[in-house]
Amino acid sequence: MVAKINAVHFDISERLESFIHKKVDKLFRRFDFIAETEVTLKVVKPESACNKEAQIKLHVPATPEVFASKTCDTFEEAIDLCIEALERQLEKIKEKK
């Protein structure tokens, strides 16, 4: 299991990093066919309220790219929404196998 976290133009806190690892580990335990995860965090338009964007890309062998992107008030909320969207996509992949 490989989880890469990229923070664009800011330094990520340890608390946020551990939160992301915890959420991604849950996905790995539930769907053991995931090979790798890429998480990208960035701040969009700092003057607006809803400006934290999270993108998660999963590499699953023999399937098209599994991807989710959400923009929210906090990175934690954006990650949670991305994970929910990815779980729905992974359930469909699991049903097909």
Cα–Cα distance between 55 and 47 in angstroms, integer?
A: 20
Amino acid letter, residue 85:
A
Domain coordinates in residue numbering, the chain: 2-96
pLDDT of 18 strictly over 70: yes
pLDDT of 73 strictly over 80: yes
23-71: per-residue pLDDT in tens? 999 999 988 889 899 999 999 887 788 899 999 999 988 888 899 999 9
Query: With 0-12 CB in 10 A as exposed, 13-18 as middle and 19+ as buried, what is 6?
Result: exposed
Cα–Cα distance between 81 and 97 in angstroms, integer?
A: 25
| pLDDT value, residue 32 | 86
Q: Which fold has domain 2-96?
A: Double Stranded RNA Binding Domain (3.30.160)
Q: State pTM to two decimals.
A: 0.91
| pLDDT value, residue 1 | 64
